[in-house]
């Protein structure tokens, strides 16, 4: 499953710092690549490993792309810059990094963070770019619709609904079109139809206040984050709070030292893990698990996938020769304590090709080729 998240934002907000922190965890860091596959942290894997003592543990991954090139007014100059645009079209979700740390004073006075203003201007660029594409497409579609082309009529009505949302200053996503309707305008590559994560990149010093509601908050970070949270709710987006610089530093340390450093800051988990989890959620994916002697492993399919498609995520032979799948929900397996006891207690079901996969299914495929 090769779904990717594009990291975008104005220059100097910490996109590359964030990407570098991600890359240190990456399984595919090659040279100065701007694309990296990052393992998705999943504590269920460790629990399963305790149970079956596998040779190795393999997490699933999600791909991130460091997309440079967004500047104010980008949508006006004949659309967003070419490279930027083509990179954005191919990603499945957008992570918009927002500067919540003040810039150092270079003699002109410190520049305060204005993440909400920044966010509004970015959303506007994305919306304008989408509007331009919809309008160009509508010229053709409306003409065909007038000549009683029913498919064109259907497309026209979808495009008009999308345009209404954008005209009202909202994202195309907020038009509430169905999955099949979205499919029919997929080739337009509308940017505001993609799921979004707002990434508040806060100064290291503000982290304790950001995560602890009673910690002193001299920088006023909590009210900034409240504003962003409201904007996220309004835009059907998720908010993730990180300190990209700190994450990049933590990524350099051994796990124990990193944990100690975190504790010294009064934090329990890094924002990076939460960001990866949020990105994964927004991509509309679910994780199923396999727990065998050779490996305990997490796999990814899209939500709504049926059992054979999940089998195909592992190997095309398993999909082709699919017979049945043994399914034990993760929680039941943990409750039972072992795969054998889960079977005894009736927690393991045998499902067929129409079974819709669920988050946390621990599976064993029966197949023949
Ligand atoms: N204080 C502070 N500075 C940061 C943080 N993240 C990035 N920066 C600095 O901001 C500058 C631009 O960062 P970069 O990641 O290159 O921004 P990009 O243009 O969005 O890729 C660099 O000097 C970073 O060190 C942060 O969390 N806190
Ligand atoms: Mg950069």
Distance CA 63, CA 53 (A): 28
76 C-alpha to ligand 2 centroid (Å): 22
pTM: 0.86
* Residue 12 Cβ contacting ligand 1 at under 6 Å: yes
Residue 244 alpha carbon, nearest atom of ligand 1: 27
Query: Is the CB of 203 within 6 Å of ligand 1?
Result: yes
> For residue 201, how far is its CA from the centre of ligand 1 (angstroms)?
9
Kindly state the tokens that stand for 208.
């304790």
For the chain of 369 residues, list the mean pLDDT of each consecutive stretch of 10.
87 91 66 80 94 95 86 59 74 95 78 90 90 93 89 94 94 91 90 95 91 89 96 92 90 84 78 89 92 95 94 95 97 96 96 97 95
Which residue, judged by its Cα, is nearest atom 25 of ligand 1?
Answer: 245
Domain ranges in the chain are 4-282, 304-367
Query: For atom 19 of ligand 1, which residue has the closest CA?
Result: 12
Minimum CA distance residue for ligand 1 atom 8: 14
Query: Does residue 107 come out as left (phi exceeding 0), alpha (psi in the -120 to 50 range) or beta?
Result: left
At residue 84, the pLDDT reads 75
Ligand 1 midpoint to CA 192 (Å): 25
Q: What residues form DSSP beta bridges with 58?
A: 297
Q: How far is CA 167 from the centre of its chain?
A: 26
Phi-psi region of 73 (alpha: psi -120 to 50; beta: other; left: phi over 0): left
> Helix 244-252 crosses helix 271-282 at what angle (to 10 degrees)?
110
Burial (0-12, 13-18, 19+ Cβ within 10 Å), 71: middle
Query: For residue 20, what are its two tokens?
Result: 């570098």
Whether the Cβ atoms of residue 235 and residue 204 lie closer than 8 Å to each other: no
340 CA to centre of ligand 2 in angstroms: 51
Residue nearest to atom 15 of ligand 1 (CA): 14
3-state secondary structure the chain: CCCEEEEECCCCCCHHHHHHHHHCCCCCCCCCCCEEEEECCCHHHHHHHHHHCCCEEECCEEEEEECCCCCCCCCCCCCCCHHHHHHHHHCCEEEEEEECCCECCCCCCCECCCHHHHHHHHHHHHHHHHHHHHHHHHHHHHHHHHCCCHHHHHHHHHHHHHHHHHHCCCCHHHHCCCHHHHHHCHHHCCHHHCCEEEEEECCHHHHHHHHCCCCCCCCCHHHHHHHHHHHHHHCCCEEEEECHHHHHHHHHCCHHHHHHHHHHCCCCCCHHHHHHHHHHHHCCEEEEEEECCCEEEEEEEECCCEHHHHHHHHCHHHHHCEEEEEEEEHHHHHHHCCHHHHHHCCCCEEECCCCECCCCEEEEEEECC
CATH for 304-367, among 3.90.1170.50, 3.90.420.10, 2.40.50.140, 3.10.20.30?
A: 3.10.20.30
Number of the ligand closest to the Cα of 250: 1
For residues 306 and 310, give the distance between their C-alpha atoms in angstroms, rounded to a whole number.
7
Determine the distance separating the centroid of ligand 1 and the alpha carbon of 113, expressed in angstroms: 13
Question: 254 vs 114, 231, 249, 276, CA distance in Å?
Answer: 34, 36, 11, 20
Tokens read off for 366: 């029966």
Q: For residue 335, what are the CA distances in angstroms to 35, 224, 297, 317?
A: 39, 42, 19, 32
Q: CB count, 10 Å around CB of 334?
A: 18
How confident is the model at residue 29, as a pLDDT?
44
According to the model, what pLDDT value does residue 320 have?
96
Using a 6 Å cutoff on CB, does residue 121 contact ligand 1?
no
Ligand 2 center to residue 14 CA distance, Å? 7
- CA distance linking residue 353 with residue 94, whole number of Å: 33
* Beta carbons of 241 and 271 less than 8 angstroms apart: yes
Q: Which CATH superfamily is domain 4-282 in?
A: P-loop containing nucleotide triphosphate hydrolases (3.40.50.300)
Cα dist from 63 to 75, 94, 142, 175, 239, whole Å: 26, 12, 38, 27, 19
Nearest CA to ligand 1 atom 1: 203
Q: Which ligand is nearest to the CA of 113?
A: 1
Query: How crowded is residue 343: how many other Cβ atoms within 10 Å of its Cβ?
Result: 13
Q: What confidence score (pLDDT) does residue 32 get?
A: 59
């Amino acid at each position: 499953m090769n779904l990717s998240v594009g990291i975008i934002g104005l220059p100097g907000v910490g996109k590359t710092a964030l990407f570098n922190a991600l890359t240190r965890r990456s399984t595919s860091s090659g040279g100065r690549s701007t694309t990296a596959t990052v393992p998705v942290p999943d504590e269920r894997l460790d629990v399963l490993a305790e149970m079956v003592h596998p040779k190795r543990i393999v997490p699933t991954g999600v791909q991130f792309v460091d997309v440079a090139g967004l500047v104010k007014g980008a949508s006006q100059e004949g659309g967003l810059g070419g490279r930027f645009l083509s990179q954005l079209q191919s990603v499945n979700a957008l992570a918009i990094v927002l500067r919540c740390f003040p810039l150092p004073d270079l003699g002109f006075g410190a520049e305060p963070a204005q993440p909400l203003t920044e966010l509004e201007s970015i959303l506007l660029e994305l919306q304008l770019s989408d509007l331009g594409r919809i309008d160009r497409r509508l010229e053709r579609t409306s003409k065909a619709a007038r000549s009683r082309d029913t498919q064109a009529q259907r497309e026209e009505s979808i495009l008009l609904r999308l345009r209404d949302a954008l005209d009202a200053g909202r994202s195309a996503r907020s038009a509430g079109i169905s999955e099949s309707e979205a499919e029919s305008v997929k080739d337009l590559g509308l940017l505001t139809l993609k799921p979004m994560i707002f990434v508040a990149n806060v100064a290291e010093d503000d982290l304790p206040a950001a995560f602890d509601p009673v910690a002193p908050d001299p920088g006023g970070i909590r009210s900034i984050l409240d504003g962003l949270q409201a904007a996220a709710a309004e835009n059907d987006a998720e908010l993730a709070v990180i300190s990209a610089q700190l994450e990049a530093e933590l990524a350099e340390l051994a796990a124990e030292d990193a944990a100690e450093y975190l504790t010294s800051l009064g934090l329990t988990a890094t924002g990076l893990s939460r960001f990866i989890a949020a990105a994964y959620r927004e991509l509309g994916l679910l994780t199923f698990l396999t727990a065998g002697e050779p490996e305990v492993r997490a796999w990814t399919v899209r939500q709504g996938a049926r059992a054979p498609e999940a089998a195909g995520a592992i190997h095309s032979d398993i999909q082709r020769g699919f017979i049945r799948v043994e399914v034990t929900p993760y929680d039941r397996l943990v409750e039972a304590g072992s795969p054998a006891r889960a079977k005894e207690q009736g927690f393991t079901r045998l499902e067929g090709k129409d079974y819709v996969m669920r988050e946390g299914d621990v599976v064993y495929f029966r197949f023949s080729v």
